[in-house]
Structure 1
């Protein structure tokens, strides 16, 4: 019989790519999403596939899946500042109530569960690069705390189920990931820059642009997540690309990639925006035999070509969102 896997957040950016990967691996995939940030167009190509079914459901309420389950991937959460600043309560609930429900389901089904955590558990780090034994520097009551603390709680309850119930759990700390199916209006760096370039606008850099990010192409990310799920390692593992770049240098790369004749404009840095992001992936290399293979130049070309294929209406919907009410005064 085929292995059966439940993927929450299945209509989202990463979730949809995970659905593709596990169908390719011969699994029967049950996708679940409440579509609050996901989009059915990301998975509509799977609707007629005999090894895929979709459940429109909110995991913060009781989750029922008939039949057996071998694995669960919990990727149901807003993941961008635009989203979790707009729907803070839902963000906290999916990280707490949703995770509790899915851990309970995994226990009932005797399934292994992988939880999608994030580099945001490190906050604005005082250690660089960030390794899994760093406990982080998070403002629990700041606007970003609704996402950061939801993920930190998610890790805590997952380890509690692992220790108390003996549940097979995996925790992936995901660093900035990009690729096709990202939403242009989700507020993250890459879609924001590309959206502005495609609309012929100047590129907006927050702060002085010296803050850093490390971008991992989605195919590499999915490979790391697959290997982690299939491993026997239960502590958190960073999955990301350690190739670090400043936001200002990255904006210049986007200008060169798109060929636009535009300038860079600067706006105040949003509150608690991390100044450094670079994963230490020593643990992933040692335990999973994994490291990213796709260079940023190659991955960005693929991503840009995807966004160029969007309609005029989709581009108009992606106009830059205003962070002003969240900016430190």
Structure 2
């Protein structure tokens, strides 16, 4: 079966990930459950775990969960140590599985879904998280990783130049249905901390930022994904706002190494910001960099200057806590987007 995994760039990415200095041997002979396995991050997690089997005679067994098993099979391909399942993560019904590690990356990612279906957005982050925590406890799991988001911070009051550390209080109107994604992630995080405190479960939390790489889909509504597909179609890069908001852009290999660093080395019940502070660009700066990087496509940039509807205007996160565990990003914005575009 031809899948994205067969692409040279993805294979190179996986080789770079498993070369990271991490205690990969902890996965030997173990079973890892990965939810959201059809997404960009989830698929790379699954492929990384399976790639470890090329270096060990004690194979990792992966249970990959997604909304549609046939789509998941098309995305991930076939592997003797891979099992595909569809889990009901919209309620707290018991999940009749066992796993030594659980990585919960399932959540609606499109902002239109967050706005139009707040209940469907909250469900996997709250009810699904509770069900998976119970599964982990019943399995005596060694580790549980909840893939959260920097959206949990909202728009905190900060001094000029102040970076957001993991213990800062969130600031947003939580009763606004548009905030379903941020509020669902916050509650999922709280459940992880509560299970760690009350039951001693080894839970960890990763607050991802703007993660990109091979596997982005055209239905992705985030600006950087729109930029990538416009370049692929030789269309103008359109910035609807003034383009001044600054975001940190993290290539998927750096993000995956960060996630496994948190899972394998993180403190019980602790949250970690996972963004690339070395690649902080405004939307206009990103568009200009991509125009230069792909000059052979003669792409130009259009700035419409419309009002932004994003609730999170601009915050800069600190990754000191994660870097103290030994993680650091390696891929530049130009290299990362070059690899992303060429993977298509």
2:75 maps to which of 42, 55, 59:
42
Stretches of structure 1 that go unaligned for 5 or more consecutive residues are 310-329
| Equivalent residue number for residue 342 of structure 2 | 305
In structure 2, relative to structure 1, the CA distance for the partners of 1:264 and 1:278 (3 Å cut) is same
1:294 is aligned, of 326, 331, 340, to: 331
Unmatched runs of 5 consecutive residues or more in structure 2 = 1-27, 54-59
CA–CA distance in structure 2, aligned partners of residues 230 and 53 of structure 1: 23
- 1:275 partnered with 2:313: yes
TM-score in terms of structure 1 length: 0.85
Q: Residues of 1 paired with 2:166 and 2:110: CA distance?
A: 22
Is 1:247 aligned with 2:286?
no
Note the 1:254-265 alignment, pairs <5 A: 254-259=290-295, 260-265=298-303
2:66 is aligned to: 33
Please tell me whether residue 76 in structure 1 is matched to residue 106 in structure 2: yes
Secondary structure at the counterpart of residue 276 of structure 2 = coil
Number of equivalent positions: 301
3-state SS in 2 of match to 1:177: strand
Distance 2:189 2:39 in 1: 21
Question: 1:92–1:80: structure 2 CA closer, same or farther, 3 Å change rule?
Answer: same
Aligned CA distance change for structure 1 residues 102 and 17 (closer, same or farther; 3 Å): same
One of 47, 50, 75 as aligned partner of 1:23 = 50
Question: Paired residue for 1:187?
Answer: 221
Alignment check: 8 A CA contact 2:214 2:340 kept: yes
- Residue 170 (structure 1) aligned with residue 204 (structure 2): yes
Q: Which residue number in structure 2 is paired with residue 51 of structure 1? A: 81
Cα deviation per residue 1:21-72 (whole Å; 9 max; x = unaligned)? 1112332110011149x755331x2x2x111110023322435344x41100
* 1:123 and 2:158 matched: no
The 1-side partners of 2:255 and 2:170 are apart by: 22
Change (3 A) 1:269 1:187: farther
Aligned to 2:175: 141
Q: Deviations over 1:277-300 (max 9, x none)?
A: 4321111111x2001011111111
Q: CA RMSD in A?
A: 2.0
Distance 2:174 2:180 in 1: 8
Q: Structure 1 residues 129 and 35, CA, compared in 2 at 3 Å: closer, same or farther? A: farther
Q: Deviations over 1:232-274 (max 9, x none)?
A: 5121011110021111111112222333343313253443432
* Aligned counterparts of 1:171 and 1:103: Cα–Cα separation in 2: 13
2:110–2:220 CA contact under 8 A, matched in 1: yes
Give the superposition deviation at 1:211: 0.5
Rounded Cα–Cα distance in structure 2 between residues aligned with 1:121 and 1:241 = 17
TM-score calculated relative to the size of structure 2 = 0.82
